[in-house]
């Protein structure tokens, strides 16, 4: 039977690339994001599969509930929920960061992911099948200057994924956390509030991961045999690794 994947944040970057790869492999799709035009463009581009698009701001719990409750029967049984919608805002140290940015990251990366999970999971458990793949980040495990609230939201995603697994144990439902490092998408443009030059500088002289790399990873995780659960998968480009501890010296 044709599988159905629901992807949050399908209008750009990882979410869009995942939609394209899943469609290529015959999956029917529920695609959401806030930008309607982008959703329509993507729907028109994806041929031979059934695509249901919905404008949905994951920060709004009732919008999320309505979306799931109102899915047409053809798309109501979600086999794969890809909780991908998310963002980083700013790179300032915590003592200068904008509190509203922190709240937006918490509302999107944490609360939005919780709303969607809570809305979709009961049916998966009832049916004894389904897979939730959450989009974490290396920033959830490794601290770096300016990651403050963003990294902490992704640490939440990692632990929430582990705890979900503990809760669904015995049900057949799978939960995975993908943790990418440097990857070029609209991520940095969003982080720097539309400053394209600043965003480009992040990737200058590097060969970052691409959204297609992440889509292949997600697809591999989603197509493992039913008895296999990839708990977490951290992925970086070869050009990225860890630095030494920062030691502040007097004088
Ligand atoms: P993009 O900015 O290209 O895509 C982000 C997606 O999230 C967009 O489709 C956007 O859609 C959606 N989104 C943001 N806020 C909301 C919201 N409130 N409601 C619904 N959708 C929302 O970035 P990426 O593809 O790179 O990011 C995808 C995920 O991967 C994020 O969770 C990010 O934290 C994570 N990540 C990114 C890395 C990177 O280096 N690029 C590395 C590690 C993790 P719209 O604006 O239309 O709502
Ligand atoms: C995005 C990757 O390294 O910019 O989650 O935090 S990083």
pLDDT band, residue 1 (cuts 50/70/90): confident
Mean pLDDT of the chain, nearest integer: 98
pLDDT reported for residue 95: 98
pLDDT band, residue 27 (cuts 50/70/90): very high
Average pLDDT of span 175-196: 98
Question: Cβ–Cβ contacts within 10 Å for residue 110, how many?
Answer: 19
Q: Is 53 close to ligand 1, i.e. is its CB under 6 Å away?
A: no
Nearest CA to ligand 2 atom 5: 137
pLDDT reported for residue 195: 98
Q: What is the pLDDT of residues 57-115, one digit of tens each?
A: 999 999 999 999 999 999 999 999 999 999 999 999 999 999 999 999 999 999 999 99
Q: Please list, residue by residue across 25-53, b when 16 or more beta carbons sit within 10 angstroms of its beta carbon and e when fewer do.
A: eebbbbbbbeeeebbeebbeebeebebbb
In a domain, 118, yes or no: yes
In a domain, 247, yes or no: no
Atom of ligand 1 nearest to the CA of 107: 18
Q: How far is the CA of 147 from the centre of ligand 2 (A)?
A: 8
Domain that holds residue 176: 4-235
In a domain, 209, yes or no: yes
The CATH number for 135's domain is: 3.40.50.720
In a domain, 100, yes or no: yes
* 200 alpha carbon, distance to own chain's centre: 22
- Those residues whose C-beta lies under 8 Å from the C-beta of residue 119, and which sit 6 or more positions away, are 64, 65, 67, 68, 69
Catalytic residue among 52, 95, 144, 150: 150
pLDDT reported for residue 134: 99
In a domain, 186, yes or no: yes
Average pLDDT of span 121-135: 98
pLDDT reported for residue 208: 98
Q: What is the pLDDT of residues 194-224, one digit of tens each?
A: 999 999 999 999 999 999 999 999 999 999 9
Q: How far is the CA of 174 from the centre of ligand 2 (A)?
A: 25
Q: How far is the CA of 144 from the centre of ligand 2 (A)?
A: 9
Catalytic residue at 150? yes
Nearest CA to ligand 2 atom 6: 139
In a domain, 194, yes or no: yes
In a domain, 251, yes or no: no
pLDDT reported for residue 251: 87
Q: What is the pLDDT of residues 144-180, one digit of tens each?
A: 999 999 999 999 999 999 999 999 999 999 999 999 9
Which among 146, 43, 36 has a CA at the least distance from the CA of 101? Answer: 146
pLDDT band, residue 133 (cuts 50/70/90): very high
Cβ contact 99:51 at 8 Å? no
Please tell me the total count of domains within the chain.
1
pLDDT tops 90 at residue 32: yes
In a domain, 167, yes or no: yes
pLDDT reported for residue 155: 99
pLDDT reported for residue 14: 99
Q: Is 12 close to ligand 1, i.e. is its CB under 6 Å away?
A: yes
Ligand nearest to the CA of 184: 1
Atom of ligand 2 nearest to the CA of 150: 6
Q: How far apart, in whole angstroms, are the C-alpha atoms of residue 132 and residue 124?
A: 9
Q: Is 147 close to ligand 2, i.e. is its CB under 6 Å away?
A: yes
Q: Is 235 close to ligand 1, i.e. is its CB under 6 Å away?
A: no
């Amino acid at each position: 039977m044709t599988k159905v994947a629901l992807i949050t944040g399908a209008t750009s970057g990882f979410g869009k690339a995942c939609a394209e790869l899943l469609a290529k492999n015959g999956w029917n799709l529920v695609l959401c994001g806030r930008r309607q035009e982008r959703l329509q463009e993507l729907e028109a581009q994806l041929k031979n599969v059934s695509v249901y698009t919905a404008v949905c701001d994951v920060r709004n719990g009732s919008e999320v509930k309505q979306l799931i409750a109102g899915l047409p029967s053809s798309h109501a049984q979600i086999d794969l929920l890809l909780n991908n919608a998310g963002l980083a805002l700013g790179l300032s140290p915590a003592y200068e960061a904008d509190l509203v940015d922190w709240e937006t990251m918490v509302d999107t990366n944490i609360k939005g992911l919780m709303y969607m999970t809570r809305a979709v999971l009961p049916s998966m458990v009832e049916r004894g099948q389904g897979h939730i793949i959450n989009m974490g980040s290396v920033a959830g495990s490794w601290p770096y200057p300016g990651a403050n609230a963003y990294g902490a939201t992704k640490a939440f995603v990692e632990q929430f994924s582990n705890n979900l697994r503990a809760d669904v144990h015995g049900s057949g439902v799978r939960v995975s956390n993908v943790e990418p490092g440097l990857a070029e998408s609209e991520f940095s443009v969003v982080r720097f509030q539309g400053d394209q030059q600043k965003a480009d500088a992040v990737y200058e002289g590097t060969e970052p991961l691409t959204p297609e790399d992440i889509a292949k990873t997600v697809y591999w995780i989603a197509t493992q045999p039913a008895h296999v659960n990839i708990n977490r998968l951290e992925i970086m480009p070869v050009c990225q690794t860890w630095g030494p501890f920062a030691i502040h010296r007097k004088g």
